[in-house]
């Protein structure tokens, strides 16, 4: 770690990203621009396009190298400062008291040299800058430096860089139990992998003009299939898919959670560590913890499992690998999930377990109309297309067959609906296929939104949303009775609603 | 607004029923907002009907459903332009107290939003060209949550400036980082 020679303030010195990134970054950049390179070399041979491809690749590599060389950061005068860029200079400063989370990720590329990428989240949401606007990414620094940054940023305590300070004392809240891997197949995460692989292979074959039916082994398989009963094919295919998906899900669970550990450090920080190949370490300030969410997707619920996530300011939001910043417990027995939730919130019970107030019957009508309508509409469309001989008629018949299932989901969605105010918490539950129970601390509520659609008005229902100071987080209570919903909202944000309420005593 | 639903509140030994409802905020938006909403809705309809017209006129043998849709659009457009802005004007209301910003908006679907002054992070004034034409402005009040911005659209420009200045002053007077 080299430091810029003189520093004005004695506290913070300018530091650079780890030089070993110079070995990793160019290789990755070249790999990233391979499609362009291959495309231009293959297609544009002879007319100069390959030079364009080479130029783009060189530029990408140079930009990457200059990013590593020119990025500097320091912690001084109560803020984290960061500058980068050779031609286009960027400078960003984040006050230390705005730092909410520190997320340390080591992907396999980083682990080659014991490096880590550090993401510093502030949890501020400015529509103009988007989610990345108030986030600072240091990709990458040494693991020791990452630990130091984490401690300095979250505990506001200066630790000398080279001192290799002993890790702060911590208390283990939860660790993964290897038996929990049995819940993996019920997360259906393997489906996504199978789908992606299938789509990729299909797309690739299509690009290379290989028709699947012309490939030798596949054609033999097709011929064999033609002589087999349809129901047998369906059953075998379903079983095979289930097996593959289960295996992939188990693999995914092992890769992501095998050494999962949730600890609490003395200074009041929750610390999540997980991952086999890509290791991740997320720290959440307990002061910024607004609540927890217990997620029970239908298959996992049938197996008696659930997941726990944190609702807190500054957690990374996004898609794919960026998701799951707030994970507090991977799929685990639901009882254990509630124990951990209570522990994390420092309560002697999990607010997500309390009995909830049911919503009026009219909410059931709405759930059923929606679920069944979502099946009937496509069925009608398919019927129309079959009518004009565009599609075979079995398609609308199969869709129509889904109506009982849809009705069940609608009914289950109604059964799940509920809300309660318990102590410091506002609790709301909803969903069937993706059931979730949210418990948020009432002091984190930053307003109230009451909405009533045209149809809700006729049914005398409202939807109450309690926005929370945690990024896009909010707690929604759907289709609650008008008066009951307002009574709940009044309690959820004490005093806020009272001056705008009209009370009429009946009878 | 009022609901016919009753909650039972247990008070002592007797049971009384109390119905809660939100009272509308104190102030209406500017009357010129009707014109503003009409113009934007008209733009939408012109585009929609324009596209359909092009399809119907350019194809030699326009399918019946396309002509039917065009006719339906031509009937709905004036109705929407007449009804929606006036309906909105009756609904859209706002109020700022020492503790909170309170708005009511929408027409078929309605929203009531309340944001505590102590949680306000930014106060923005926006004016699109049509708003400038009608001397109107829109105030957006954001809190730390992405779900909670409160918008007051269709305010008279001068009134909006004064309101934003007042809100900014109150917000600055409130300590803390509003999260």
For the stretch A365-387, pLDDT in tens is 999 999 999 999 998 988 888 88
DSSP B26: S
Q: What is the mean pLDDT of residues A164-193?
A: 78
CATH code of the domain made up of B92-173: 2.30.29.30
Q: Predicted ipTM?
A: 0.85
- Going by pLDDT thresholds of 50, 70 and 90, the confidence category of residue A6 is very low
- Summarize the confidence of residues A325-336 as an average pLDDT: 88
What gap in Å lies between CA A481 and CA A200, rounded to an integer? 48
B20·A486 Cβ contact <8 A: yes
Res. A483: pLDDT tops 60: yes
- Kindly list the residues from chain A whose CB atom is less than 8 angstroms away from the CB atom of residue B113: 447-450
* Res A158: pLDDT: 52
Alpha helices in A258-360 (DSSP H): 298-302, 334-344
In this prediction, residue B65 carries a pLDDT of: 81
Quote the minimal CA–CA distance from B49 to chain A in Å: 24
**Residue A166: which pLDDT band, with cuts at 50, 70 and 90?**
low
Q: Where are the alpha helices (DSSP H) in A74-207?
A: 108-111, 143-155, 189-207
Q: Is A419 on the interface with B (CB under 8 A)?
A: no
Residue A85 has pLDDT above 70, yes or no: yes
Query: In chain A, which residues have their Cβ closer than 8 Å to the Cβ of B19?
Result: 483, 503-504, 506
* Residue A236 scores a pLDDT above 90: no
Higher per-residue pLDDT: A450 or B179: A450
**Contact call for A449 and B113, based on CB within 8 A:** yes
> How many other C-beta atoms can be found within 10 angstroms of the C-beta atom of residue A57?
18
Q: What is the pLDDT of residue B88?
A: 94
Distance CA A177, CA A486 (A): 43
Cα torsion B164, B179, A323, A23: sign? positive
Q: What is the DSSP letter of A86?
A: S
Torsion on CA atoms A450, A451, A456, A462, rounded to nearest 10: -10
pLDDT (average), residues A423-439: 90
Under the banding of pLDDT at 50, 70 and 90, the label for residue A450 is: very high
The answer to whether B120 touches B167, Cβ cutoff 8 Å, is yes
The whole-number pLDDT of residue A322 equals 42
- How many domains would you assign to chain A? 2
Report d(CA B122, CA B119) in Å as an integer.
10
Which residues are bridge partners to A170 per DSSP? Answer: A265
- d(C-alpha B119, C-alpha A483), whole Å: 26
Yes or no: say if A249 and A187 are a contact pair by the CB < 8 Å rule.
yes
Residue B75 preceded by cis peptide, ω within 30: no
Asked if the structure places residue A284 within a domain, the reply is no
CB contacts of B22 in chain A (<8 Å) are 450, 486, 497, 500-502
Chain A contacts in chain B segment 119-148 (CB below 8 A): 119, 121-122, 142-148
Q: For chain A, what percent of residues have pLDDT higher than 70?
A: 85
Quote the CA–CA distance of A303 and A186 in Å, as a whole number: 7
**pTM for the structure as a whole:** 0.76
Q: Which residues of chain B have pLDDT under 70?
A: 1-17, 146, 148, 174-179
B26 touches chain A (CB under 8 A): no
Closest of B166, B129, B159 to residue B28, by C-alpha: B159
Dihedral of the CA atoms A345, A346, A352, A353 (nearest 10)?
Answer: 160
Beta-ladder partners of B80 = none
For the stretch A41-60, pLDDT in tens is: 776 666 677 777 788 888 88
In this prediction, residue A99 has a pLDDT band, given cuts at 50, 70 and 90, of confident
Domain that holds residue A458: 361-500
Does residue A36 register a pLDDT over 70?
A: yes
What are the CA-CA distances from residue A393 to residues A220, A230, A233, A377, A405 (Å)?
30, 18, 21, 15, 20
Q: A127 touching B, CB under 8 A?
A: yes
Q: Over B127-171, what HEC string results?
A: CCHHHHHCCEEEEEEECCECCCCEEEEEEEHHHHHHHHHHHHHHH
What pLDDT is stored for residue B174 in this prediction?
67
CA distance B171 to chain A (A): 14
Residue A124 in contact with partner chain B when CB distance is under 8 A? yes
Residue A210 binned pLDDT confidence (cut-offs 50, 70, 90):
low
- Rounded to an integer, the average pLDDT of A154-165 is 54
Chain A: closest CA distance from residue B17 (Å): 5
Sorted by sequence, the CB contacts under 8 Å of residue B99 that are 6+ apart come out as A495, A496, A499, B116, B117, B118
**Mean pLDDT, to the nearest integer, of A469-473?**
63
Q: What is the pLDDT of residue A467?
A: 87
In chain A, positions 478-507, which contact chain B (CB-CB < 8 Å)? 481-484, 486-487, 490, 493, 495-497, 499-507
Q: Which of A351, A355, A358, A335 is nearest to A290 (CA)?
A: A351
SS3 content of chain B, % helix, strand, coil (to 5): 45, 30, 25
| Tokens 């012309």 -> residue | A214
Helices and strands, number each (H, E), in chain A = 15, 21
Q: Is B1 within 8 Å of chain A by CB?
A: yes
Dist CA B77 CA B46 (whole Å): 9
Mean pLDDT of A297-311: 90
Give one DSSP letter per residue of A420-441, joined into a string: EEETTEEEEEE-STEEEEEEEE
CB pair distance less than 8 Å for B147 and A473: yes
Among A202-216, A407-421, B147-161, name the one with the lowest average pLDDT: A202-216
Mean pLDDT of chain A: 81
Cα A27 to Cα A41, A109, A453, B81, B103: the distances in Å are 19, 10, 54, 59, 55
Provide mean pLDDT across the span A8-29.
78
* Beta strands at B136-142 and A461-467: parallel, antiparallel or unpaired: unpaired
Compute the average pLDDT of residues A357-370.
92
Tell me what pLDDT residue B143 has.
80
| Residue A506 reports pLDDT greater than 90 | no
The residue among B130, B99, B114, B88 whose CA lies nearest residue B138 is B130
Pairing of strands B122-126, A434-441: unpaired
Q: Could you say which of A41, A70, A99 is where a domain stops?
A: A70
Contact yes or no for A461/A449 (Cβ under 8 A): no
Is position A267 within any domain? Answer: no
Asked which of A70, A86, A109 is the last residue of a domain, the reply is: A70
Poorest-confidence range of A233-237, A278-282, A320-324, A421-425? Answer: A320-324
Identify which of A417, A500, A461 has the alpha carbon closest to the alpha carbon of residue B4. Answer: A461
Quick check: is A168 in a domain?
no
């Amino acid at each position: 770690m080299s430091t810029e020679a003189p520093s004005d303030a004695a506290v913070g010195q300018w530091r650079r990203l780890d030089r070993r990134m110079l070995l990793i970054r160019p290789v990755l950049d070249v790999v990233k621009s391979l499609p362009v390179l291959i495309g231009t070399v293959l297609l544009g041979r002879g007319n100069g396009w390959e030079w364009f491809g080479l130029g783009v690749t060189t530029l990408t590599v140079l930009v990457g190298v200059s990013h590593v060389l020119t990025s500097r950061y320091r912690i001084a005068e109560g803020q984290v400062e960061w500058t980068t860029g050779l031609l286009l200079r960027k400078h960003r400063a984040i006050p230390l008291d705005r730092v909410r989370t520190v997320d340390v990720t080591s992907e396999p590329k980083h682990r080659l040299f014991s490096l880590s990428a550090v993401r510093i989240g502030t949890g501020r949401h400015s529509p103009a800058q988007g989610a990345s606007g108030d986030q600072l990414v240091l990709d990458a620094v040494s693991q020791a430096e990452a630990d130091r940054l984490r401690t300095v940023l979250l505990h506001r305590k200066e630790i000398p860089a080279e001192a290799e300070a002993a890790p702060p004392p911590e208390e283990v809240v939860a660790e993964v139990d290897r038996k929990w891997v049995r819940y993996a197949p019920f997360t259906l995460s393997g489906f996504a992998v199978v789908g992606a692989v299938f789509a990729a292979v299909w797309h690739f074959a299509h690009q290379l003009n290989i028709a699947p039916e012309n490939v030798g082994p596949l054609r033999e398989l097709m011929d064999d299939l033609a002589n087999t009963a349809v129901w047998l094919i369906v059953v075998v295919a379903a079983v095979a898919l289930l097996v593959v998906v289960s295996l992939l899900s188990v693999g995914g669970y092992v890769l992501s959670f095998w050494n999962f550990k949730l600890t609490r450090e003395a200074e009041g920080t929750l610390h999540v560590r997980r991952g086999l190949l890509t290791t991740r370490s997320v720290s959440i300030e307990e002061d910024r913890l607004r609540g927890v969410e217990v997620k029970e997707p239908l298959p996992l619920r049938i197996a008696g499992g659930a997941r726990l996530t944190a609702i807190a300011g500054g957690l990374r939001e996004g898609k794919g690998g960026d998701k799951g910043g707030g994970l507090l417990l991977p799929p685990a027995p639901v009882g254990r999930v509630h124990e951990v939730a209570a522990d994390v919130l420092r309560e002697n019970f999990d607010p997500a377990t309390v009995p909830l107030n049911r919503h009026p019957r009219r909410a059931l009508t709405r759930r059923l109309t929606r679920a069944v309508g979502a099946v009937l509409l496509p069925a009608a469309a398919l019927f129309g297309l079959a009518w004009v001989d565009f599609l075979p008629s079995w398609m609308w018949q199969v869709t129509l067959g889904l109506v009982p299932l849809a009705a069940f989901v609608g009914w289950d969605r109604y059964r799940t609906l509920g809300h309660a105010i318990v102590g410091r918490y506002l609790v709301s539950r909803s969903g069937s296929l993706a059931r979730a129970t949210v418990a948020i601390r009432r002091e984190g509520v930053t307003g109230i939104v009451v909405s009533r659609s045209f149809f809700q008005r006729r049914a005398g229902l409202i939807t109450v949303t309690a926005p929370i100071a945690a990024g896009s987080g909010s707690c929604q209570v759907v289709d609650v009775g008008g008066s009951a919903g307002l009574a709940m909202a009044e309690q959820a944000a004490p005093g806020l609603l009272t001056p705008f309420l009209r009370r009429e005593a009946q009878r | 607004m009022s609901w016919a639903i009753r909650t039972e509140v247990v008070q002592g030994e007797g049971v009384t029923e109390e119905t809660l409802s939100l009272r509308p905020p104190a102030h209406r938006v500017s009357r010129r907002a009707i014109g503003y909403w009409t113009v934007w809705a008209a733009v939408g309809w012109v585009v929609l009907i324009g596209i359909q017209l092009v399809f119907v006129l350019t194809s030699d043998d326009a399918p019946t459903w396309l002509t039917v849709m065009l006719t339906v659009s031509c009937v709905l457009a004036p109705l929407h332009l007449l009804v929606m802005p006036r309906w909105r004007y009756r609904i859209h209301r706002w109020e700022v107290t020492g503790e909170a910003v309170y708005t009511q908006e929408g027409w078929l679907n309605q929203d009531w939003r309340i944001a505590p002054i102590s949680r306000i992070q930014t106060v923005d004034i926006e004016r699109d060209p049509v708003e400038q034409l009608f001397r109107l402005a829109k105030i957006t009040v954001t809190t730390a949550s992405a779900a909670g911005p409160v918008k007051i659209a269709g305010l008279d420009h001068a009134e909006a400036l004064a309101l934003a200045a007042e809100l900014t002053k109150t917000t600055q007077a409130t300590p803390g980082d509003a999260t």
